[in-house]
Amino acid sequence: MKHASEVSKSVKIREEIFDQFVDPTTGQSSPVWKITWTNSNNVSTEVITYGATITSIKVPDKNGVCEDLVMGFKDIKGYQGRLNPYFGATVGRVANRIGNSRFTINGTTYAVSANLPPHQLHGGFRGFDKVNWDYIIQDTKVTMSYLSKDKEEGFPGDLITHVSFILTESNEFKIEFMAHTTKPTFVNLTNHSYFNLAGHNKGAAELYKHVVSINADQTTDVDKDSIPSGKLLKVAGTIFDLRIPKVLGDVIHKIPGYDGYDHNFCITKGEYQEESFVARVHHPGSGRVLEVYSNQPGVQFYTSNGIPENAKDFKGNPKNLQVIIGKDGPYYKHGALCLETQNYPDAINHPGFPKAILNPGETYRHSLIYKFSVDK
């Protein structure tokens, strides 16, 4: 659903067809729409209806030169491909992992799809990133909607989800997730954008120069499968202490058991704060700065550890070549970072974690702001 937009005097908005989506379950074809925002500071953002996915964020550097800062693909084939690691997508019904693909609500145990056996990752085989959303435009605010039906990927209840996007004149890209359910269910939505403030295709060499800080004094303890134990670990004195800014290249290879970060950080919130400061990332060469704000209790900090490092990862056999070809060429390991605001992973299976169940009559609300600036 869509209608003509009223265009504000400062932020301009445009809609156009990006590609065609053929639903693999029904064979039905529908257009994938692309919405583009541009403000007077020459900042622009793009979102497509497939997966309610951010496909581009362009921001000037300290010399006024614009670069696209997020990884992605040039067509729907890339986004539907099996190598897509959720570039820019709206992830749900439950982001991150569900241990052993099971949880219990009010005495009933639900088994959800195990797309990362024996666990579930990011909503299952056909999560919210793999459907074509409806949308409506109101002035410069775009709201995308999707109805996830009862038992989809094993989850209880019909869940109607809305994701709103808006770009402001102050270079804030604001995202708001809302959901309502017909039965008690597990909900944990996020956006999965991959950022490199030097440019989406500038690789690990530039990512290692990024200076990162995260407003968290604890992380969730996890096992070898990244499933939480239920314990919270203090970051003080560890490689996870990013409260004081760190150059990423100085710390990324020092995480025990991981070559890079893929961990949930527990955000430090003020007693009456709704939205809290989550993280700040600065790329000194370009001067670009990204600040993240959210009302969620956690953030998954991920440094693209799972993207192949180079063709040698596959022993020179062309049939095994798995290099991800992005918008302007290949992407490689540690080429970007993600800051996925969220509830704690597997929260429903750990009584001490924040509330994870959405009941009928309640509203799930998740606010997220990506704020861009330049440090000259």
The predicted-structure confidence for 314-371, as pLDDT tens digits, reads as follows 455 444 557 899 999 999 999 999 999 999 999 999 999 999 999 999 999 999 999 9
**DSSP letter string over 343-360?**
SPTTGGG-TTSPP-EE-T
Q: Which residue has the tokens 């004195």?
A: 237
Is the pTM above the cut of 0.85? yes
Torsion of CA 287, 66, 293, 219, to 10 degrees: -70
Confidence band for 182, pLDDT divided at 50, 70 and 90: very high
DSSP state of 344: P
| Backbone CA torsion sign across 154, 54, 76, 35 | positive
Of the chain, the end-to-end C-alpha distance in Å amounts to 43
**Is 262 flagged in the annotation as binding?**
yes
Mean pLDDT of the chain: 94
% of residues, the chain, pLDDT over 90 = 89
**Is 96 flagged in the annotation as binding?**
yes
Residue 373 CA: distances (Å) to CA of 58, 153, 339, 368: 12, 40, 17, 17
**Is 193 flagged in the annotation as binding?**
yes
CB distance 235 to 241 below 8 Å: yes
Q: Which of these is catalytic: 46, 153, 291, 340?
A: 340
Amino acid identity for residue 163 in this structure: V
Confidence band for 9, pLDDT divided at 50, 70 and 90: low
CB neighbourhood size of 133 (10 A): 23
The predicted-structure confidence for 254-265, as pLDDT tens digits, reads as follows 999 899 999 999
% of residues, the chain, pLDDT over 70 = 94
**26 contacts: CB under 8 Å, gap ≥ 6:** none
| Confidence (pLDDT) at 269 | 87
**Is 97 flagged in the annotation as binding?**
yes
| Confidence (pLDDT) at 5 | 39
| Confidence (pLDDT) at 376 | 78
**294 contacts: CB under 8 Å, gap ≥ 6:** 267, 275, 276, 278, 341, 366, 367, 368, 369
Burial of 213 (0-12, 13-18, 19+ CB in 10 A): middle
CB distance 353 to 330 below 8 Å: no
Q: Which of these is catalytic: 119, 122, 180, 192?
A: 192
The predicted-structure confidence for 58-90, as pLDDT tens digits, reads as follows 999 999 999 999 999 999 999 999 999 999 999
CB distance 86 to 262 below 8 Å: no
**Is 119 flagged in the annotation as binding?**
no
pLDDT at 198 over 90: yes
Q: Give the SS3 label for residue 251.
A: helix
> What value does the mean pLDDT take over residues 94-114?
98
CA atoms in the 13 A half-sphere facing the CB of 241: 6
- Is there a catalytic annotation at residue 253? no
User: Which tokens hold the place of 198?
Assistant: 């030097």
- Is there a catalytic annotation at residue 67? no
Confidence band for 6, pLDDT divided at 50, 70 and 90: very low
Domain 12-374, CATH among 2.40.10.480, 2.70.98.10, 3.40.50.2300, 3.30.465.10: 2.70.98.10
Helices (H), the chain: 76-80, 203-207, 248-251
Phi, psi of 124 (to 5 degrees): 100, -165
> What value does the mean pLDDT take over residues 146-156?
98
